[in-house]
Amino acid sequence: MSQSDAPIGVIGYGEGGLIALYSAAVDTRIQATAVSGYFQSRQEVWREPIYRNVWGLLHEFGDAEIASLIAPRPLVVETSRGPEVAGPPSVRDGRGGAAPGQLVSPPIHAVESEFERAHGFYQMLDSGDALRLVSPVDGLPGSEEALTALLTGLGVENARIDSHYLLSSSTVDDFDYEARQQRQFMQLVNLSQRFLREAASRRQQFFWDKTDTSSLTRWEETCTDAKAYFWDEVIGRCPPPDVPPTQDAAHLR
C-alpha cells in the first residue's frame, strides 16, 4: 500500500478533541476518529471559551449530532480527564474583564449520556458497533484500549499497542512547521477573499431579489421575512419575559 492510499485517522485530546471531532464530521476522507477529554453535553457551553460558543449551534447540534455526521465511520470516545482552566485572567492594570473561558474535565455522566444519544444515530445506520466508549481506569488520555480501537477502525488487523511506546515521545526533526503555518494562513486568506468576492451576488440572491422597491408599502411587505431572519439568526431574539414587567419598565415600552 502506498502512503497516499493509507487510511487516515485522527485523534485529539482536549482542544485537539474538538478539532478531531469537527474535522471528521466535515471531511469524509478521515476513516476513523478518537476524541479524548472533550466529548460531552454542550448545555453549558456559555461557560467555556467564547470561540466554542457558536451562534445558534445548540438549536440543532450537540456533540451527539456532530458525531452523527461522522457515522457510520468509526468513532472512539475516551472519558479521560480533560484540560482544566479556571477562567480568563483576572482584572489588572491595563487589562479589563474578559468573556467566560472555563474548562473543566467532562463529567463521566455527561459523556455517557451524550454517547448514548450519539449511539442512537449510529444504530439508525446499522453501525452501532462503530461507536466505542472507552473509560481508562487512570483517567489519562491515549489509553491502550482507545488507541487499539482507533487502529481497528482503520482496518488494522490484530491491532496491538505496546504500552512501552505510550510513555515515550518523539519528534520529527525534518518537519517544516513554519511552512505548514504559512499554508494554513494562506488557506484562511484565500477563503476570506472568496467570501468577499461572492458577497455581492449572495446578498443579491438572499435579499434584494426577494424585495420590491416599487413603493414603501411593497418594500415593508417584502422585508418581513428578512427582518425576522435578521432578528432570530443574527441579532438573537430574546424569549418572552418569564415575569410581568415592573411598573417602571412598562412605562418605557
119-151 pLDDT tens trace: 999 999 999 999 999 999 888 999 999 999 999
170 pLDDT higher than 50: yes
Q: What is the pLDDT of residues 28-43, one digit of tens each?
A: 999 999 999 999 999 8
Query: What's the full length of the chain, in residues?
Result: 253
The answer to whether the beta carbons of residues 68 and 61 sit under 8 Å apart is no
Side-chain half-sphere exposure of 87, counting CA atoms within 13 A: 8
- CA 220, distance to chain mean position in Å, is 38
Share of the chain above pLDDT 90, in %: 60
Which H/E stretch holds residue 157?
A: none
Task: For residue 85, give the DSSP letter.
Answer: B
The answer to whether the beta carbons of residues 78 and 143 sit under 8 Å apart is yes
Single-letter residue type at 165: Y
Can you give the pTM of this predicted structure?
Answer: 0.75
Q: What is the mean pLDDT of the chain?
A: 87
The answer to whether the beta carbons of residues 37 and 106 sit under 8 Å apart is yes
168 or 128: which carries more pLDDT confidence?
Answer: 128
251 or 161: which carries more pLDDT confidence?
Answer: 161
252 pLDDT higher than 50: no
Provide the pLDDT for residue 4: 64
The answer to whether the beta carbons of residues 114 and 40 sit under 8 Å apart is yes
Provide the pLDDT for residue 173: 67
CA distance 14 to 35: 8
